[in-house]
Structure 1
Amino acid sequence: MLYYQIIKGIIMEKFSLIIILFAALITPLITARFHIQRMPTAISEILMGIVIGKTGLNIARPDTSVQYIANLGVIILIFLGGMEIDFSLLEPKKDKTIYSPLGTSFTGFMTILFMSILLSGVLYLTGIFTDFVLAVILFSTIALGVIISLLKEVGLLQTNYGQTILLTSAFGEFIPLVALTIYSAVQQRHYISVLGLPVIFIIAIILLHRFNRIYVFFDKIDKATTQLDIRLAFFLIFTLVTFAEQIGAESILGAFLAGAVMKLLKPKPDTEDKLSSIGYGFFIPVFFITTGVNLNLRTLFTNWDAVLLIPIFLMAFILSKAIVYFVFRKRFGRRYAAGASIVTATTITLVLPILQVGRNLKLISMAQSGAITLAAIITCLVCPILFNKILKTEE
């Protein structure tokens, strides 16, 4: 029996990538078959990972190669998040009568940050969650990628309302990323890394300046067998990720800056499509499914302290964004303000790498990480549905 278990474990490790890729293939087919396409793809992939992983059938046991692909997946996911930022929204409007979403979105995020600090203080003082700073970073994050997809589906991405939510979400991804990098460096006592943090931004600016002139030249010499724009994108990713790691920063910050640099180079629409195809076609599904595979809910539900965190963090994710209502109400009215406060509570994209950093630094346990992940998954299931209902009511 023991030998059988050993042989089974070896086989499962060897075929884990095939199992995960097959799961990635059939997940959208299953959601289409049962008419649940409204569920964010990331959530359906995590749920599929739970089914085939430690919690469910336990037929997928990722080895180092699968984990490496999953790590690349989160890097490319954050890179594509950086590419989604519309930098024209940050430009001051010459005509003062034209609405600019910058002021509203920045004020909105600052209220989220204030509420996150308040809620984290309550959890710290009550002893429910003792890492105050990590809680602030978690509560202030917003799932930029999920929200962009949702705004595209409902046709709001190009409206003033959609742009304001988009920019608020961008703040909710970039600022927590920087905060996580600084906090991680302090926890590891790499204080020089904090001083070296501007270096990664300087490198990003140098890369932007260097490639800004020759990027136009790419169109003249590019061909199907060279794909220079894709090669440049991966060069930017690995350059900034490598430098970020060398100065003690988080790799995902380098990936985000690489996406921002690529966006500022103004790539062709088909470049973004090709990069999205590579990311969402292979690397990113492996990351989300592997996250579900590694999530052991059986162990989680035997730890009642961790189980208690699920409703607490779920309420905190929602309450930290509820205050956005008062910022959006002045500009868009009550219903759309309520929709903004609900949709910005959607959080999963950055929560997963934050929790991974927390586990690596031994700031949180695996059970706590699983509980917080489950709370984030619930926000992605509930908040988009409520947002769509509010919009339908308004219509």
Structure 2
Amino acid sequence: MTHDFVSLALIALVAAAAPIIANLIPKKPIPETVLLLIGGALLGPSMANVIWTDESVMLLSDLGCAMLFLLAGYEINPRTITGREGKRGLITWVITFALGFGAVYCFTGVSARGLDGLAVTIALTTTAIGALMPILKERGLLGTRLGDSILSYGTWGELGPIVAMALLLSTRSTWTTASILVLFIVIAVLTAVFGHESSKKEGPIRDIFFAGRDTTSQTFVRITMLLLIALVTLSSLFSLDIVLGAFAAGFILRYIIPKGSQDLEKKLNAIGYGFLIPLFFVISGAKIDLLAVAENPLLLVGFIAMLVLIRAVPIFLSMRYDKDPEVAELGGRAHASVALYCTTALPLIVAVTSVAVNAGAMSDSTASVFVSAGALTVLIMPLIASATYRVADAHPIERLREGRVGHE
């Protein structure tokens, strides 16, 4: 127990220091997420060995991961993934998965159909929407045309791999897993419908919840945490990855509150980004074996290069040849910017490699390299994306229109 509190104290120290260090660096080029991972790696078992990944700490880390995906799911408007560009995002993700499978089959020594090969394939198709959201908010991209494109393509880079993990990384037969997945979706949909109808139905229970939302009862927060933990527990009982339940909880919460709630969002952000999510990233960093990463620099660089080729290039081409006038008006640099943002990958790489390691299909050292590569994308891709099309941060379509008005 003492070890656990020592670990938590050091994790809290890293979490508190990360934003200070990030903001002291001019222009804040390094995201806090990267600093959290570095801190965890330096203090983890492979280096200083003062942060231990014991069972109790890992439980909190899993809750942090779940909170990250809940907030990501909550931020996504269903129309983003069902609209015209969202459908192109789905098709593009399927293409990236096929390219990833082909790359693993042709250029690696692992079996593409083995658990380790499938884990690498899925990792090559991911977009870290949860890690991207704070960056997009800081840069004022949410709600802009560029931001909408990032979410349209990026959400499928999160949702597609989650479903693929459930279907392909299970030890059960595919049909059994598919049946369980359908059952899970049915339960999630029924929960969403029940919650939506209950939120509109007047009565004493509804009055109690609304009366206690800003008191010590914090009824809205408690119900949200119940929803999250219940769906994560259901995922675990069905032997599905917890990220599926967490992401579903975010979608359900958005369906119940379609216009959102600023008060609830502030409270959830405080719980998530104030404690649980930084803890998840620090523990993820503690799992990285820096010596193993140093011994495999080619694997590290090669994985990042494959991410760009398999994930970024198809998205760029999809946008480049999109006949939608608004997409075309963004221009090639914005298309490249969207593609690079969507190549930011981390939380799902942690989840995918953890499944492979726990199954004995992947070594800890190899997983460390992949997680480190994902961490580097969080640092590199947003920087390059911003440099590629800086005007995108200032609402490009509005500027273009203003320019046209000025010429007239």
| Corresponding residue for residue 12 of structure 2 | 21
2:240 matched to 1:242?
Answer: no
**Which whole-Å CA distance do the structure 1 matches of 2:381 and 2:124 have between them?**
15
**1:332-347 mapped onto 2 (5 Å cutoff):** 332-347=330-345
2:285 matched to 1:292?
Answer: yes
| Corresponding residue for residue 144 of structure 1 | 129
**Which whole-Å CA distance do the structure 2 matches of 1:173 and 1:142 have between them?**
5
**Which whole-Å CA distance do the structure 1 matches of 2:186 and 2:251 have between them?**
13
- Structure-2-length-normalised TM-score: 0.84
**Which whole-Å CA distance do the structure 2 matches of 1:336 and 1:274 have between them?**
34
**Which whole-Å CA distance do the structure 2 matches of 1:158 and 1:223 have between them?**
28
Q: Work out the percentage of aligned pairs sharing the same amino acid.
A: 25
2:166 matched to 1:168?
Answer: no
**Which whole-Å CA distance do the structure 1 matches of 2:100 and 2:35 have between them?**
29
1:288-327: CA deviation from partner (whole Å, max 9, x where unpaired): 101111211124434x4xx432111111111112121122
**Which whole-Å CA distance do the structure 2 matches of 1:14 and 1:230 have between them?**
26
1:33-76: CA deviation from partner (whole Å, max 9, x where unpaired): 23363422221210111122234433222322211111111111
Shift of 1:11: 6.5
**SS in structure 1 of the partner of residue 220 of structure 2:** helix
Q: 1:202 aligns with which of 186, 194, 217?
A: 186
Letter of the aligned partner of 1:140 in structure 2? T
Q: Return closer, same or farther for 1:127/1:389 CA change in 2, 3 Å cut-off.
A: closer
| Corresponding residue for residue 99 of structure 1 | none
**SS in structure 1 of the partner of residue 215 of structure 2:** coil
RMSD of equivalent CA atoms = 2.2
1:352-394: CA deviation from partner (whole Å, max 9, x where unpaired): 1111112112221111101111111111111111111122267
Letter of the aligned partner of 2:50 in structure 1? I
**Which whole-Å CA distance do the structure 2 matches of 1:232 and 1:189 have between them?**
35
**SS in structure 2 of the partner of residue 301 of structure 1:** helix
Q: 1:124 aligns with which of 98, 105, 109?
A: 105
Letter of the aligned partner of 1:328 in structure 2? M
**Which whole-Å CA distance do the structure 1 matches of 2:366 and 2:228 have between them?**
31
Letter of the aligned partner of 2:194 in structure 1? R
Q: 1:44 aligns with which of 18, 35, 39?
A: 35
2:308 matched to 1:318?
Answer: yes
1:159-197: CA deviation from partner (whole Å, max 9, x where unpaired): 222112112111111111011011122x34585333121
Shift of 1:152: 2.1
Q: 2:196 aligns with which of 207, 212, 228?
A: 212
| Corresponding residue for residue 113 of structure 1 | 94
**Residues 241 and 253, structure 1, Cα contact 8 Å, conserved in 2:** yes
Shift of 1:279: 0.9
**1:1-395 mapped onto 2 (5 Å cutoff):** 14-35=5-26, 37-89=28-80, 102-130=83-111, 131-185=116-170, 187-189=171-173, 192-216=176-200, 217=206, 218-220=209-211, 222-266=213-257, 267-302=260-295, 304=296, 307-320=297-310, 321-329=312-320, 330=322, 331=327, 332-392=330-390
**Residues 165 and 352, structure 2, Cα contact 8 Å, conserved in 1:** yes
**Residues 93 and 160, structure 2, Cα contact 8 Å, conserved in 1:** no
Deviates more, 1:255-264 or 1:332-341: 332-341
**Which whole-Å CA distance do the structure 1 matches of 2:146 and 2:285 have between them?**
33
**Residues 193 and 248, structure 1, Cα contact 8 Å, conserved in 2:** no
1:4-48: CA deviation from partner (whole Å, max 9, x where unpaired): xxxxxx965551111111111112112222336342222121011
Letter of the aligned partner of 2:359 in structure 1? L
Letter of the aligned partner of 2:291 in structure 1? R
**Residues 334 and 389, structure 2, Cα contact 8 Å, conserved in 1:** yes
Deviates more, 1:69-78 or 1:320-329: 320-329
**Which whole-Å CA distance do the structure 1 matches of 2:136 and 2:293 have between them?**
34
**Which whole-Å CA distance do the structure 1 matches of 2:175 and 2:314 have between them?**
34
Q: Return closer, same or farther for 1:87/1:276 CA change in 2, 3 Å cut-off.
A: same
Q: Return closer, same or farther for 1:194/1:220 CA change in 2, 3 Å cut-off.
A: same
**Residues 212 and 265, structure 1, Cα contact 8 Å, conserved in 2:** yes
**Which whole-Å CA distance do the structure 1 matches of 2:97 and 2:80 have between them?**
25
1:59-98: CA deviation from partner (whole Å, max 9, x where unpaired): 222322211111111111111111111124356xxxxxxx
**Which whole-Å CA distance do the structure 1 matches of 2:372 and 2:109 have between them?**
17
1:256-296: CA deviation from partner (whole Å, max 9, x where unpaired): 10111011111421101111110111111111101111211
Runs (5+) with no aligned partner, structure 2: 201-205, 397-408
Shift of 1:223: 4.3
- Structure-1-length-normalised TM-score: 0.87
**Which whole-Å CA distance do the structure 1 matches of 2:175 and 2:195 have between them?**
32
**Residues 106 and 171, structure 1, Cα contact 8 Å, conserved in 2:** no
How many equivalent pairs are there?
372
**SS in structure 2 of the partner of residue 167 of structure 1:** helix
**Residues 116 and 140, structure 1, Cα contact 8 Å, conserved in 2:** yes
Q: Return closer, same or farther for 1:318/1:190 CA change in 2, 3 Å cut-off.
A: closer
